[in-house]
Amino acid sequence: MLKRFLPNEYVNSIFEITPAFLKEKNIKGIITDLDNTLVEWDRPLATPELTAWFKEMRESGIQIVILSNNNEKRVHKFAEPLGIPYIYKARKPLGKAFQKALHTMNLPQEETVMIGDQLLTDIFGGNRAGFYTILVVPVAQTDGFATKFNRMVERKILNWFNKKGLLQWEGTKVGK
Total domains present in the chain: 1
pLDDT at 170: 59
Residue 176 has pLDDT above 60, yes or no: no
SS3 at position 161: helix
Answer for the pair 140, 37: CB distance below 8 angstroms, yes or no: no
The verdict on residue 174 lying in a domain is no
Confidence of residue 3 (pLDDT cuts 50, 70, 90): confident
The verdict on residue 82 lying in a domain is yes
pLDDT at 169: 64
**What is the CATH number for 145?**
3.40.50.1000
Residue 70 DSSP label: S
Instruction: State mean pLDDT over 129-147.
Output: 82
**Which residues share a beta bridge with 115?**
32, 134
| pLDDT tens digits, one per residue of 38-81 | 999 889 899 999 999 999 999 999 999 999 999 999 999 999 99
The verdict on residue 93 lying in a domain is yes
Distance of alpha carbon 59 from alpha carbon 176, whole angstroms: 30
The verdict on residue 18 lying in a domain is yes
Q: How far apart are the first and last CA of the chain?
A: 15
The whole model's pTM is what?
0.87
The verdict on residue 155 lying in a domain is yes
The verdict on residue 172 lying in a domain is no
pLDDT at 121: 93
Q: In terms of residue numbers, what domain contains 73?
A: 2-163
The verdict on residue 42 lying in a domain is yes
Instruction: State mean pLDDT over 141-149.
Output: 66
The verdict on residue 171 lying in a domain is no
pLDDT at 146: 65
